Structure 1
């Protein structure tokens, strides 16, 4: 006996309304804006800090003195179609320019200055530096590599950025002349790189052409965005572009979440197969390696107690394996996040891997609760505002012109 049609109608209406609300939120609301800002700040700080730390050794790692010569790099690039602008020339000036530009782009992305352009340039810089010497790096570099790609598709400057501050202080401001100038400069540069085989090697076109499609798409969409924003800011085409950008952002954030789950799932399941992790002694051996021993006294104290070593080894495996399955439980997820971030902070301290730990903590931040990020941001803002006001007042007093004895300003 079937139920009457009238009894099924409320359920169908509720399902339809919830579907429409979800679609409206997916296309019209930027989801997880604070998490995207934390990821932007964290990975820009991680990559820029790494480049600054390796500044004395930059030529040995990625430049003209590298053991992985330019010829070897070009042979590998011809096979895997990877992209790096450092393979265009072996001159030192070119390497120094790209390396310095990568640091500058990291700082600008961290500050949130023209984040749409800086996120794409950050992607170019990360690919160029890492693909120059593929045998250098660790798991943190792989995470930066992936997250740099995802960041280019997000609206990571919605909050906690100079762009957001500019929009808040000047809501009705006209054309962004700096942004237009930057857009006008990047287009011809991309065209020149695509049409003129830089360096004359004849081997770089596969990687360049495969990525140029993505770069041209970013450039054309940004131009169309600016044109429609100027001609018809309230038009349908402008609304469609905005909805597309929002959908790309939401999809990219979802991919970031899935990627973090994959990282922990694969790490945990591979650890389970290892005999050292099964025996609970995996942590003992890195503590005795000079390469991972920045604080010998601390490492020796920890290695001298087998029970903490056993508990940390087993706890690491349990947390990494359980996280992808418990991520949907809000309370348990927050507890696991605290444990994993504490673990990465301990790795940075005991094993001397600060940038690996910072990369993983930045990736974990995608699961942090919004209320926690908002509250933390408010506290930092309240703490920083008085100090910034004091610095500005002191600078203003120092920059005032001298006054004569009668109080008249002298020039």
Structure 2
């Protein structure tokens, strides 16, 4: 056999790369933890602000409905809260946003839930644009990205339903989950009901002029794609080779969209940290190592005044934290070239956000940033974390009153129960 030339090696490398990005949705555990993290951050924020929802986004907001209407007429932002100024409509939208965040968190009918989640985030945030912070901005972006990902392949009710259906000779329920394999049986009516309700709302809002042309085309396209996906899955159950081939093509397109958006999320996180770090370098307070001192002496950012004052009184600690923050943010995008350096720096960044949550009283900002960082966590670590969480949950259920005896859990080494770890990109290799 002859020695392969550079051209042959390049062609094989390109072929393997194309096969990976079309044959499977990469990073299933990473996208699942991102979905859970952002769903939890938005849900907890909405629940925490429930007593103040009227002042934040409702009729009692300082940014009145009329001012919001004028701004949206100029920037063409999307919010369903502009459809009516009534309090009843606001309360309904807020409740739907809470329900959508909970559905995304647990992975229930995830394709429809992520669209509704995006509608809730955009509607509330665009209603009062001056109420947000950096955490709200990242939630705003990720809410749109999650719509295009297959983020419920693991750790979701959709995945559990698909597993049970496969065990019974079926498939992923009503076809509204994120199943990545061939569908043999499509049953259930939950997804069909959601699709029909969304279609009726879209039709009514479009006729009433509630959408701009761009947003109307986007939502109608999403509605049509979801309906086509369900129809193709259902036809593939007893259809011929042509129908199954069409289903495979749709699956490839879904994988391409997922993998492309996953890359965008990774780039987005790198841009957030790199731009934040480089802007800090230009600030005099960051240059002299005192920037962290000032927020620790503001009443608004000191939920634990004694602890904040104790740390602020240590000049060496302030200096190290200030310079360490800048160095970590600037260096993070470059550490992706080395998985060990990336994992170490990622640990420091997560600890930094936990410190911000406690010391500065910004839990939702920190949770949103940790959820974004999770896209770079190693697959092996996430699999271990999932196993430990499942084991602790089973132990807690056995200890509950009336829990009764439970059948022993299968050993982790059993092939039938060992989670499949798909090949992942270099950013999250362990």
Provide structure 2 residue ranges, at least 5 long, that are not aligned to the other structure: 171-184, 238-242, 406-430
Which residues of 2 match residues 62-141 of structure 1 at below 5 A? 62-141=57-136
Could you give the per-residue CA deviations for residues 274-295 of structure 1, whole angstroms, max 9, x where no partner exists? 0000000000000110000100
Could you give the per-residue CA deviations for residues 46-105 of structure 1, whole angstroms, max 9, x where no partner exists? 001001101111001100100000010000000000000011111111001111111111
**Counterpart Cα distance in 1 of 2:131 and 2:33:** 26
Which residues of 2 match residues 256-405 of structure 1 at below 5 A? 256-389=265-398, 391=400, 393-394=402-403
- Within the candidate set 224, 227, 234, 1:223 is matched to 227
Note closer, same or farther for the CA distance 1:371–1:97 as it changes in structure 2 (3 Å cut): same
**Counterpart Cα distance in 1 of 2:248 and 2:58:** 46
Other-structure match for 2:150: 155
2:132 partner SS: coil
Could you give the per-residue CA deviations for residues 160-195 of structure 1, whole angstroms, max 9, x where no partner exists? 000000000112143231111111111121111111
Other-structure match for 2:176: none
Per-residue deviation, 1:20: 1.3
Per-residue deviation, 1:21: 1.4
**Counterpart Cα distance in 1 of 2:215 and 2:350:** 34
Other-structure match for 1:183: 195
**Counterpart Cα distance in 2 of 1:99 and 1:330:** 41
Per-residue deviation, 1:390: 5.2
Is the 2:397–2:403 Cα contact (8 Å) retained in structure 1? Answer: no
Per-residue deviation, 1:10: 4.6
Per-residue deviation, 1:12: 3.3
Per-residue deviation, 1:388: 2.9
1:235 partner SS: helix
- Within the candidate set 8, 13, 18, 2:13 is matched to 18
**Counterpart Cα distance in 1 of 2:344 and 2:4:** 42
Per-residue deviation, 1:389: 4.8
**Counterpart Cα distance in 2 of 1:349 and 1:9:** 58
**Counterpart Cα distance in 1 of 2:394 and 2:165:** 20
1:188 partner SS: helix
**Counterpart Cα distance in 1 of 2:159 and 2:17:** 26
TM-score when normalising by structure 1: 0.90
1:170 partner SS: helix
Could you give the per-residue CA deviations for residues 206-245 of structure 1, whole angstroms, max 9, x where no partner exists? 3xx3222222222111111111111125621111111111
Task: Report the aligned-residue RMSD.
Answer: 1.6
Provide structure 1 residue ranges, at least 5 long, that are not aligned to the other structure: 1-5, 199-204, 397-411
Larger-gyration structure (1/2):
1
Is the 2:186–2:233 Cα contact (8 Å) retained in structure 1? Answer: no
**Counterpart Cα distance in 2 of 1:230 and 1:356:** 42
Note closer, same or farther for the CA distance 1:140–1:193 as it changes in structure 2 (3 Å cut): same
- Within the candidate set 216, 240, 246, 2:249 is matched to 240
**Bigger helix fraction:** 1
